[in-house]
Chain A
């Protein structure tokens, strides 16, 4: 029994390893070929022949300093947009979700909630074209540039991420006993004080989930920034920068793969640090 079980586990481990090799193979190729020259990559993309750290530095120098890519600038832009959007979504989402779930028996709150939930089926494609023209016209009208600007795109992410954020948060807040708030209210705590001092700290686990889901989406998103910021605009996020960089270096794999490495590295490092939280956050978001 134990022997056959051990044998079965061995076979399963081997199968698992083979699948893992297949899954990780492209990432390995990116990593390894960043250490090689174009000619060496084309001659033999799988082996380590010609790989050296000096070549990696050379590739990095070419890519980071490239005027189409501007890695540090794109990285900073992506980081700023993602962080700002995440903080605002957590804060405004929490505030809105609290109001909705504390009034869920009233008709207006139920209607707002229904609109949020129903809007989750709206595909981005159906709003993207009018979105751009609305932002262009509204920006011109009020005298703030909403396209090609970080505040404009953060505003858009708050709008697009709002529905899912509220949906998940409302589900959680409904589970917080109302007595807690009544006690605070009797002790003379104002409604806004109750939210910030009592409810918000309790939301920490679910805000982590929401932040992971929104963060993965915003960091990797291509279509919205490419439309709002433009492919050749001044402000570029990392995916847009990779896209325009690759467009200008067709088949220059040493540069393309090094750029790809730089683009995926932040996420992989983050995953290594917070693997458990990211994996459970992604699952919880899907189940709710």
Chain B
């Protein structure tokens, strides 16, 4: 269909006019508080018709530009409504007395001051940092060891890869309940009391489950790094008489430095955001008798769960939002450092 055909010349203005009219009418209804339930459908229909009219516009010169706009629109629109606008609002709300529905006054930095004077929040920060560091080390060491195992030429290798990766398919909530059963009913024969019943051991249990879920995934990435390594380098090392340990430390590890960066970054950010397992396994419970002079009952509560509970369970939205902004700042800083580091390394190579 040529752009200057009669169909285009007639259809385009009709679609544009009807579409815009529908949108205007439904918006007027929105603003006047109409209770007509079809007004939402009208708005969507009007938008689609207006875009169709725009697409059919009888122009050769601007057709490409119009197609670009229409192609970008759906994703950008969804992205703006779900990410950008809530982010801006969220940062703003953290300086108010927002209740989750409305706010009445600006309170400045009050939410932030309260939050840093709250021992249970400080505990969550420290616990999360410890959890992140331990996980980053353990998951990477175990994942790398499993990857070395899974790159040896033997019969069962494909089965091992699939088996180690399998836990990653299961969502955190279901996984948390399954492990609750394992700790409370199965491991109890070995541990006498359930690991989940005491704060210290419950935190160990969370780490254990996290490694169980995540090490297989990290292993797969290392396996890819190791198998993409040029064979001739390894052969040369073998001919020069390097043993397995020397090959590992002087050739394999330096050659997959970029894979290490990727895996460190992945484990770091995902450990920071850990929520599902934390919620399903302990729900953050656990007593800490004396911390900063007060008794805490959130001994196993990581940051993400602390934010959630502050806002949803305790119904303190402004406080929860301030914590979330702080959480965002930490993660952004970590990501920036990571990007810096990996850029530097790539230049050196």
Contact = CB atoms under 8 A, between A and B. Distances in A.
Interface string A217-229: 0011111000100
Interface in A65-108: 88, 92-93, 95-96, 98-100, 103
Given A126-B327, A143-B39, A282-B168, A134 B85 contact: yes
Nearest to B71: A95
A12 B154 contact: yes
Chain A contact residues: helix, strand, loop or mixed: helix
Contacts of A103: 68
Interface in A7-48: 9, 12-13, 15-17, 19-20, 23-27, 29-30, 33, 41-42, 45-46
B72 interface: yes
A23 B216 contact: yes
A122 B87 contact: yes
A178 interface: no
Contact of A156 (B82, B146, B320): B82
B74 A92 contact: yes
Contacts of B327: 123, 125-126
Contact of B317 (A25, A129, A138, A268): A129
A286 B221 contact: yes
A248 interface: no
Contacts of B30: 141-143
A129 B311 contact: yes
Interface centre among B29, B30, B78, B155 (most CB of A within 10 A): B78
Chain B contact residues: helix, strand, loop or mixed: helix
Q: How extensive is the interface on chain B, given as a class? A: 35 or more
A116 interface: yes
A223 B273 CA distance: 12
Contacts, number: 265
22 contacts: A13-B154, A19-B160, A24-B166, A26-B212, A98-B71, A119-B79, A126-B324, A142-B43, A144-B44, A155-B78, A159-B83, A190-B63, A195-B71, A216-B168, A227-B312, A242-B173, A256-B181, A264-B170, A271-B162, A271-B169, A279-B165, A283-B224
Chain A to chain B: the 7 pairs with minimum beta-carbon distance, closest first: A159-B82, A220-B171, A144-B40, A143-B40, A95-B71, A159-B78, A130-B86
Given A27-B166, A143-B43, A222-B171, 4 more contacts: A16-B156, A17-B156, A143-B40, A155-B81
Interface of A: 9, 12-13, 15-17, 19-20, 23-27, 29-30, 33, 41-42, 45-46, 88, 92-93, 95-96, 98-100, 103, 112, 115-116, 119, 121-134, 138, 141-144, 155-156, 158-160, 162-163, 166, 190-192, 195, 216, 219-223, 227, 239, 242-243, 246, 253, 256-257, 260, 263-264, 267-268, 271, 275, 278-279, 282-283, 286-287
